[in-house]
Amino acid sequence: MNYFPLNAKTIPGYLKQLDNLSSVLIFDSLTIEEVGDGNVNYVYRITSKPNNTSVILKQAVPYLRVAGTEWPLDRNRIEFEARALRLYGSIVPDLVPKLYHVDTSMSVIVMQCLSNHIVLRRGMIAGIEYPRISDHLSTFLAETLFRTSSFCMSSHDKRSLMHNFNMNMDLCKLSEDLIFSFPLMKSDSNYTNPHLKEHIDRLYRDAMFRTNFAWFKYKFMNCTDALLHGDLHTGSIMVNEQETYVIDPEFAFFGPFGFDVGKLLGNFLLASISHYYRSVESKYRSWLMAAGLETVRSFFTKFDTLWAMHLEQETAMFHRGYLRSAERFIFQERFRRSLIQDITGFAGCTIARRILGIAGVADIREVADLTERARLEGIALELARILLNNYASVCTLEDLESLVASFFDGVTSVFRMRTEVSSLY
């Protein structure tokens, strides 16, 4: 079938040609709703009225949705998403949606509809606590990263798997540009808020910040530790109080261990910052910060457990007898230190690009008052600067937790003083 963009009128005819969906949908009575709020693709919820069953249809268009046709993008990204979902389904089946159909010629995938869930970012904006979120996300991170790494796979198997994702070039380039390059440059694609100009100018003059930002771009481009989701943020997670699903892995590629973890932490911290405006009380801000840090802590615990389970196996990294016990301990401690530093740095990059670049976060960008929004953006940029300029001194989880907690304590004190002064007038 030749490619054409689908819409609510053409989707029913397209679906009727798919035999493998006849057991899921009754085609004669469909309700179709465009539900995508992302930056890249078009997403439709298709509901069969007679049996009240829904699926999600996602189609890649040959451009970046948020920017329009002037920003071309290869449609083959949907193939990499399908490959990643299949692999994740074999590793963490309870944490990713089921895949029903893949059509590479039409750049379409059809998958499970998570109708009883909402996007995590929306839940966080609404101030909802999810008691199992850190456990679920740390499991996803530990399992998917460890099991696609040289600590678990043979050299041949890992390189074969890498080959399946090496051609995801457009989305890797998109990340290089939108996360690591354009936010540090005077790019036409960057976001502007006139109340933030002085803060941005000051940050642009910070040589250490800029150099460290470039260092993490280098690591992103050149480390191939494991298969990454590549775009793991609170907008690519669906939740309710009991379940968590990770979606949208079209950016999947082999990259550094710390990227997915740091990106996710950065989004939790941005959400926490947004509640200096959205919440009167500090309780929910504290929960968001704690949930992000607990996700990182639990990730390390689970990663270490997986590592211990595979110590006697032949893998690309370790052969039997390769290191003695004391040597292995030194190696693991060095690895942990390097990884927590990468998580810290990538979290800083994530926070900065979400403020400076084209793709902001709704947590902050949806604050209508530009002055209040700039206040939140300034806080976020200062946190990004602190994380990036201090990443090398972060050697343990406790160091990271202390760095983040002390920053938020300082910001909270300033807001409390401002509130007390305002109450006098």
> Which of 86, 112, 138 is a domain's end point?
112
Same domain, yes or no, for 192 and 96?
no
Give the C-alpha separation, 379 to 199, whole Å. Answer: 10
Domain membership of residue 68 (yes or no) is: yes
Domain membership of residue 6 (yes or no) is: no
pLDDT of residue 424 exceeding 50: no
CATH for 44: 3.30.200.20
Neighbours of 46 (CB within 10 A): 23
Same domain, yes or no, for 104 and 190?
no
Same domain, yes or no, for 177 and 312?
yes
- Going by C-alpha positions, the residue among 246, 5, 255, 279 that lies closest to residue 138 is 246
- Going by C-alpha positions, the residue among 393, 144, 400, 395 that lies closest to residue 292 is 400
Least confident of 149-153, 223-227, 262-266, 418-422: 418-422
Give the C-alpha separation, 301 to 405, whole Å. Answer: 21
Same domain, yes or no, for 228 and 284?
yes
User: What whole-number percentage of the chain has pLDDT above 70?
Assistant: 97
In this structure, what token pair is assigned to residue 60?
């890649």
Domain membership of residue 4 (yes or no) is: no
pLDDT of residue 292 exceeding 90: yes
Q: Which residues neighbour 231 within 8 Å (Cβ) at sequence distance 6 or greater?
A: 175, 248, 249, 250, 251, 263
Same domain, yes or no, for 177 and 93?
no
Residue 75 belongs to what domain range?
11-112
For the stretch 242-256, pLDDT in tens is 999 999 999 999 999
Q: Which residues neighbour 310 within 8 Å (Cβ) at sequence distance 6 or greater?
A: 151, 152
Give the C-alpha separation, 249 to 138, whole Å. Answer: 17
- Going by C-alpha positions, the residue among 264, 285, 267, 268 that lies closest to residue 276 is 285
pLDDT of residue 425 exceeding 60: no
Pairwise pLDDT comparison (304 vs 30), residue with the higher score:
304
> Which of 62, 89, 112 is a domain's end point?
112
Pairwise pLDDT comparison (51 vs 191), residue with the higher score:
191
- Tell me how many domains the chain contains: 2
pLDDT of residue 419 exceeding 60: no
Domain membership of residue 5 (yes or no) is: no
Same domain, yes or no, for 81 and 128?
no
Same domain, yes or no, for 159 and 183?
yes
Q: Using 50, 70 and 90 to split pLDDT, how confident is the model at 189?
A: confident
pLDDT the model gives residue 66: 74
Same domain, yes or no, for 191 and 337?
yes
pLDDT the model gives residue 64: 82
Domain membership of residue 405 (yes or no) is: yes
User: What whole-number percentage of the chain has pLDDT above 90?
Assistant: 81
CATH for 189: 3.90.1200.10
CA dist list (Å): 113 to 7, 52, 180, 234, 399: 18, 12, 33, 18, 40
> Which of 57, 82, 112 is a domain's end point?
112
Least confident of 17-26, 68-77, 162-171, 190-199: 17-26
Neighbours of 285 (CB within 10 A): 22
Same domain, yes or no, for 265 and 386?
yes
For the stretch 33-76, pLDDT in tens is 998 776 788 899 999 877 788 999 999 999 888 777 888 888 99
Same domain, yes or no, for 65 and 134?
no
pLDDT the model gives residue 417: 57
Domain membership of residue 3 (yes or no) is: no
User: Average pLDDT in the 273-295 region?
Assistant: 95
Same domain, yes or no, for 49 and 143?
no
Domain membership of residue 86 (yes or no) is: yes
- Going by C-alpha positions, the residue among 309, 278, 304 that lies closest to residue 121 is 278
332, with CB counted inside 10 A (0-12, 13-18, 19+), is middle
For the stretch 347-406, pLDDT in tens is 999 999 999 999 999 999 999 999 999 999 999 999 999 999 999 999 999 999 999 999
Half-sphere exposure (CA, 13 Å, Cβ side) for 82?
Answer: 20
Domain membership of residue 417 (yes or no) is: yes
Same domain, yes or no, for 102 and 150?
no
